[in-house]
Structure 1
Amino acid sequence: MSLFDTHWDAIVIGTGMGGGTIGRALAEAGQKVLFVEQGPSGYRAEENGLSETFVPEARVARGLWPTPLHVTLDGVETAFYAALGAGVGGSSVFYAATLERPERHDLDELPDRAHPTGGWPVGFDQMAPWYAAAAQTYRVYGTPDPLGPEPIPLRDPPPLSDVESALMRSLTAAGLHPYHAHTGIERLPDCANCLGRKCPRACKMDGRSAGVEPALAAGAALLDNAQVTRLASNGDSIAHVEVRHDGQTRRLTATRYILAGGALGSPRLLLASANENWPNGLANRSGLVGRNLMFHVNEMFALWPPRGTKGLAATKAISLRDFYHAGGQRLGTVQAMGIRASYGEIVHYMNLMLARSRFGRVKGLSQLTRIPAALAHRLFGSAQIFVGLMEDMPYPENRVTYDPAQPDRLSVDYTIHDELRDRRAAFRRAIRKGFRGHRRVFLGLSPELNYGHPCGTLRFGSDPRASVLRPDCRAHDVDNLWVADASFMPTSMGVNPSLTIAANALRVADSIVKGAS
């Protein structure tokens, strides 16, 4: 029987962090699971990073999203290639394996730390066992945060390099509290530490190696190169999925449908699935599908190790939360990015900033970044790149947009609010003060959104008028639809979202299995 003739227990649309995790959990529980992935399965030996190539076929072959992301930012439209994947493992195959757990105030309303939404419908204590399970599934190593009272199971990290040791000592001497960043790498023999690029082996724990591949071993199936174009609904339930595969439109059926196409792709698919019963998009009785879009705000800076430090290897091992919540404001974590201020990296990031600016459409301008990049490389020398990852807030007008005349176009509309600008200025002041005595320089002027961390566009909650999903991430309005990606998050938190996505996917899988039994 073919994949199209089979009735599945669950069809998982997307194979990234959320899709891979929930699909594995369901398959290992005995469910008949089909992954549907827009991109190719590729070959295990492939190794490539993010690329600025503009040929759609070449991008898809590399596991990258084929088309630019169109962003209207404060009324100015630009288009560029965001850090989004389109292949087995989704965007997670390119991530830097940072798997940090948020703090209690990220999820809960506390007496001394008010929550922007009054708190998540599933609080920190309810999520804690799922964070622990996700940390074990993704083989997370690191050391405890000295400022964090909440324990989390961690594997012992590898030894620090000379650069890392020197920075740890100097940051501690400055009164900061660095720790070995929480990282999901198995560290098999001859591990190449593939951070920021696709790993040819099973070392890096991503949606492919820790999700899809174990799920396939447990009996799940995979349909790749299949673009889901529509969820066909029959009243308040989904009847089938329509996919484009091998040039044909085909149908797939299941008892349950799980969206895991990311916080940009999942709401876009629901908006594209409008019909006479759902004129504003499937599951959109609240009008919130695609809204409350959040990113993080990157505050990148170059930091020099103490003079005389041996070795030039880039560090990804250092993280600190001294500015996570400071001066009564929700700021964020600071972590090493795993790159040095080399010429190539400087050119790459300068071109990214250029593409996202109002000058991005000027042809040939990107070539001019080579001269300042060469000067910066000589200036920075052995500097390491760090980033402050600042929490974003949900606003209904920040949203994923959909144009039926351009169904394949990925687009968002985003306004930078004054409170974000104010918190960003406070974050910079805190970093400047905290790193006093260290040679460092900020690498940006205006707020830089982290387009690799979209979240919040299908928020969960108890009130169907103010949320798209129930607390178990089942749609309020569609009986057989669940979501297992970053769309569910009411707030963006002050850490990378990957561990939260995985933990929530395990929680949702558990509720589905218990409901099916």
Structure 2
Amino acid sequence: MRTTRHDQIDAYDPLRTGAVLEVGDTETVTADVVIVGSGMGGSTLAWELRDRDLDVLVVERGRFLPREAENSQASEMFLAGRYKTAEPWFDGKTGESFQPGVYYWVGGNTKFYGGSLPRFRASDFEETQHYDGISPKWPFRYNDLEPFYAEAERLYQVHGNDGEDPTEPPRSSPYPLPPLPHEPVIERFATSLRAQGLHPFHTPNAMNLTTQEQRRQATAADGTPSQTDHKSEAENRALRPALHSEKVRLLTEAKVTRLLTDPSGSRIVAAEAAFRGRTLRIVANQFVVSAGAVNSAALLLRSANEQNPNGLGNSSGLLGRNYMVHNSTFFMGLNPFRKNTTAWQKTLGINDWYVAGPANEYPLGNLQMLGKLQAAHVKSARPWAPMWALGMVTDRSLDIYLTTEDLPTPTNRVRVDGDRIVIDWTPNNVAPHRELVGRVSTAVRKSGYPIILTERMGIATNSHTCGTAVAGTDPATSVLDPTCRSHDIGNLWVVDGSFFPSSAALNPALTIAANALRVAPEIAAAAQ
């Protein structure tokens, strides 16, 4: 086993920095801490462990995503499927396969996200009554995570503005960078919303766009990769800097298929990975799973053995259950007589109906703008429409993403059937989402967009998955303890969105990153 530099072996790394593990003919690799997955949780954890005198190995099933002109072409992403790498999953109700919205590249799903990095509200960590039931409290409070939110915002270079959002929780420090200003069309929209008594705010985001040309380059970046480093994501802000340390290494094209325990079944001794046509054994002291809420649960379920017949860390029977994915709708306001010349729209949000109050008995959710829809984005939703017609629509549309919290339900779950991943999912808490769509429709029409088009997201939209290995204080009702360590297996940790007791109604990426920073000292101490 030896370490080599990116510029010697891997053309997929655009900056050629850090250390990639070259395995050669060996059958076994060793480390102090193995991190399975290089998305927001795994890469942030590697960054935080980089100076702790531990041999850290990040194992990623994908490769470095190439930088090429096609990165910013929505047609390549959404019509040609250029960067789709996930195997099909299966709908537990119908048995039919579907293509999930997850991606296996270094940096994980953050390579394709829109850079939206809000903090959860303080109420999201507390027990909350919703229309369809209770959203449970977390095993730690907002104030416990707040310092790590601040650190994560600095790491990911978050732009924002204090004091605009009436639901914003307390902060120990201001946003690291000023907000991205609205372009003229969005500024007019914000003015109209304020005139209606609403409180539009500049959304916290990780897009470093200082010129209009950079905005034009990023137009499709909400859903596609970026050719530049203007978008802060897990690879460029956390993993690549971590790889400058001699103590952090990366193994690509290695799919971890099983975790192996000692004879007692209470400690993991190795991971098995499919690596370029052969099986690689990875031995470590501590094992951190961060492959995404679905794949992390699937890995632990597939690792069942005689001592753990229902999967590793599953004495509660909750592993894979309480799958949450948000109620979400793509929303377009259309004015046929007015073109929308905005290059990067994702600068405005509304949380006026996020918590219950005089205007709404139950929480309704969040409004945020989309980067800017193009014809290729909407073709799959309207396959019968010609591209020229879709282009005329998206040239004149105001594009919005609406999110309402869904609730943890044991029957919503991830299962494995041999090599297949099966998703059992029935949407819940849907009535508040319909109410949110209705209220936004009214506000958008008053703002000068008389035609409303909506598309509710279904089982194949998986960008905000969470809840499949819930954290809590009671081993009978949770999979992980409050530090995200398995109740059952002392050297197993899960640091992606699997640990979420509830989904809130906001993008989860910053909360995943902040939590990885929070639990890193616990993992480091256990590995010593």
What is the TM-score of this pair, normalised by structure 2? 0.85
Aligned to 1:426: 435
Aligned partner of 2:439: which letter?
A
Please give the residue correspondences for 1:310-321 in structure 2 after superposition, counting only pairs within 5 Å.
311-321=341-351
Please give the residue correspondences for 1:146-185 in structure 2 after superposition, counting only pairs within 5 Å.
146-152=165-171, 153-154=174-175, 155-185=177-207
- Are the equivalent residues in 1 in contact too, given 2:133–2:407 (CA < 8 A)? no
Write out per-residue CA displacement over residues 294-314 of structure 1, whole angstroms, 9 at most, x where no aligned residue.
Answer: 011112221257976773435
Aligned partner of 2:166: which letter?
L
- Of the structure 1 ranges 63-72 and 30-39, higher mean CA displacement relative to structure 2 is found in 63-72
1:34 to 42, 46, 57: 57
Ranges in structure 1 where 5+ consecutive residues have no aligned partner: 351-365
Aligned to 1:237: 267
Q: Secondary structure at the match of 1:477?
A: coil
2:281 to 251, 264, 271: 251
Cα shift at 1:65: 2.8
Name the CA shift for 1:272/1:117 in 2 (closer, same or farther; >3 Å). same
Alpha-carbon distance in structure 1 between the residues aligned to 2:65 and 2:469: 30
- Are the equivalent residues in 2 in contact too, given 1:323–1:431 (CA < 8 A)? no
Aligned partner of 2:89: which letter?
L
Alpha-carbon distance in structure 2 between the residues aligned to 1:45 and 1:32: 33
1:402 to 397, 412, 416: 416
Alpha-carbon distance in structure 1 between the residues aligned to 2:66 and 2:346: 27
Name the CA shift for 1:110/1:28 in 2 (closer, same or farther; >3 Å). same
Alpha-carbon distance in structure 1 between the residues aligned to 2:288 and 2:441: 44
Name the CA shift for 1:453/1:446 in 2 (closer, same or farther; >3 Å). closer
Aligned to 1:361: none
Alpha-carbon distance in structure 1 between the residues aligned to 2:423 and 2:131: 31
Aligned to 2:362: 329
- Are residues 1:388 and 2:402 paired? yes
Cα shift at 1:323: 1.7
Name the CA shift for 1:32/1:444 in 2 (closer, same or farther; >3 Å). same
Q: Secondary structure at the match of 1:217?
A: coil
Please give the residue correspondences for 1:339-488 in structure 2 after superposition, counting only pairs within 5 Å.
339-340=372-373, 342-350=374-382, 366=383, 369-371=384-386, 375=389, 378=392, 381-404=395-418, 407=419, 409-417=420-428, 420-435=429-444, 437-438=446-447, 439-444=449-454, 448=458, 450-488=461-499
Cα shift at 1:43: 3.7
Alpha-carbon distance in structure 2 between the residues aligned to 1:115 and 1:12: 35
Cα shift at 1:329: 1.4
Aligned partner of 1:195: which letter?
D
Aligned to 2:521: 510
Aligned partner of 2:424: which letter?
D
Alpha-carbon distance in structure 2 between the residues aligned to 1:197 and 1:453: 16
Q: Secondary structure at the match of 1:184?
A: coil
Alpha-carbon distance in structure 2 between the residues aligned to 1:492 and 1:403: 26
Cα shift at 1:254: 0.7
Q: Secondary structure at the match of 2:385?
A: helix
Alpha-carbon distance in structure 1 between the residues aligned to 2:393 and 2:235: 39
What is the TM-score of this pair, normalised by structure 1? 0.86
Alpha-carbon distance in structure 2 between the residues aligned to 1:167 and 1:97: 21
- Of the structure 1 ranges 140-149 and 425-434, higher mean CA displacement relative to structure 2 is found in 425-434
Cα shift at 1:512: 1.9
Q: Secondary structure at the match of 1:458?
A: coil
Between the two proteins, what is the percent identity of the paired residues?
33
Q: Secondary structure at the match of 1:387?
A: strand
Alpha-carbon distance in structure 1 between the residues aligned to 2:332 and 2:342: 14
Q: Secondary structure at the match of 1:451?
A: coil
Aligned to 1:221: 249
Aligned to 1:68: 88
Cα shift at 1:102: 1.2
Alpha-carbon distance in structure 1 between the residues aligned to 2:148 and 2:498: 18
Alpha-carbon distance in structure 1 between the residues aligned to 2:132 and 2:105: 40
